[in-house]
Amino acid sequence: MQNNPDSYYIGTIILSILIGLVVVLIFIFIRKIITSILDGLEMTYTFFTNRPAFVHFYMFRKKLTRNQTKILTEQFTFYKRLDAENKSYFRHRVATFMQSKTFVGKAGFKVTDETEVLVSATAMMLTFGFRDFSIKAVKNIVIYPTKYFSEVNKVYHKGEFNVNLNTLVLSWDSFLEGYRIEDDKLNLGIHEFAHAIHFNCIYQEDINSVIFIDTFNELRALLANDEILKNKLIASEYLRQYAFTNDFELLAVILETFIETPRAFKHQFPLVYYKVKQMLNFNFPGY
């Protein structure tokens, strides 16, 4: 009896597929074990330090154009203060963020390099202590030239974050005004991105989101239990009244205040200051 060459080939192919499957399964299994061990080690590290084990790790670093880098260098104080290595990380993050979001100009507003760089830099400043800086809760960034009429609330707005539409809306004149005076604790871009990051951290489970939410809960508990501290905070008017509208506004106003006046914040309310620093893992020049 002769062997059929066709059935021999089919047998070889099936055997190869089976061996391939087994190899893939073993690979997935080993990867899972290694990931679990690394996650466990990081959890232990974070338990003692309240920080992620590392923040920056990139196979390749994206580049900005010469004009985009010039905008950062000339107009973004946080970037100017970083050392060369961190500047390179920051440019990579701004370039990555810019490319992953859809920027839309409304009411005749024309989106330029300046718009995309400064808006993205605001988001990347707030998440510079995070390993995952993607802010997936934001997919679209809509810019109006000036304040706009909101059909939802029937009032004029300077900006908002719409979690259902994954959209962050800003009026450009107010955005720039936020940076024009750098220490008045008013910054529209920081305020709206604070809302977006807050929502993002509620839904995500990465290490920075966990630290962010856990620490914010500690801060809320601190203010709820320490009447003297809370009254001092309200009476000082250091945080503007709007902060006490609800927890979301509290967080947004606290981040505006933290970024714009770190020295005064640390001096007047050190306990609150260090909680915010921990939430953002913000160990950068000036903070």
CA distance 99 to 120: 10
Nearer to Zn ion, 100 or 150 (CB): 150
Which range in 29-37, 70-78, 110-118, 245-253 contacts Zn ion by CB under 5 A? 245-253
Q: Which residue is nearest to Zn ion, using beta carbons?
A: 252
Which range in 75-83, 143-151, 182-190, 250-258 contacts Zn ion by CB under 5 A? 250-258
Find, among 278, 225, 223, 277, the residue nearest to 250 by Cα. Answer: 223
Nearer to Zn ion, 79 or 212 (CB): 212
CA distance 144 to 115: 11
Nearer to Zn ion, 247 or 249 (CB): 249
CA atoms within 13 A on the CB side of 174: 20
Q: Which residues pair with 144 in a beta bridge?
A: 171
Nearer to Zn ion, 197 or 252 (CB): 252
Nearer to Zn ion, 206 or 249 (CB): 249
202 torsion bin: left (phi>0), alpha (psi -120 to 50), beta (else):
alpha
Which range in 80-88, 122-130, 205-213, 249-257 contacts Zn ion by CB under 5 A? 249-257
Which range in 84-92, 103-111, 229-237, 248-256 contacts Zn ion by CB under 5 A? 248-256
Among 252, 255, 272, 276, binds Zn ion (CB under 5 A): 252
We find the least distance from the C-beta atom of residue 214 to Zn ion, in angstroms, to be: 22
113-126 vs 247-260: helix crossing angle, rounded to 10: 100
Which range in 109-117, 130-138, 226-234, 243-251 contacts Zn ion by CB under 5 A? 243-251
Number of residues counted as binding Zn ion (CB under 5 A): 2
The number of angstroms, rounded, from the C-alpha of 34 to the middle of its chain's C-alpha atoms is 27
We find the least distance from the C-beta atom of residue 252 to Zn ion, in angstroms, to be: 5
Residues 186-215 close enough to bind Zn ion by CB under 5 A? none
SS (H, E, C) 64-128: CCHHHHHHHHHHCHHHHHCCHHHHHHHHHHHHHHHHHCEEEECCCCCCCHHHHHHHHHHHHHHCC
We find the least distance from the C-beta atom of residue 171 to Zn ion, in angstroms, to be: 14
Residue with tokens 């709007």: 242
Q: Do 163 and 197 contact (CB within 8 A), yes or no?
A: no
Nearer to Zn ion, 173 or 249 (CB): 249
We find the least distance from the C-beta atom of residue 161 to Zn ion, in angstroms, to be: 8
Residues 66-125 close enough to bind Zn ion by CB under 5 A? none
We find the least distance from the C-beta atom of residue 100 to Zn ion, in angstroms, to be: 24
Nearer to Zn ion, 214 or 249 (CB): 249
Nearer to Zn ion, 160 or 206 (CB): 160
Residue with tokens 């992953």: 100
Residue with tokens 């047998």: 11
We find the least distance from the C-beta atom of residue 167 to Zn ion, in angstroms, to be: 15
Q: Do 168 and 193 contact (CB within 8 A), yes or no?
A: yes
Kindly list the distances between the CA atom of residue 64 and the CA atoms of 5, 93, 111, in Å, as whole numbers in the listed order.
Answer: 59, 10, 17
Residues that bind Zn ion (CB under 5 A): 249, 252
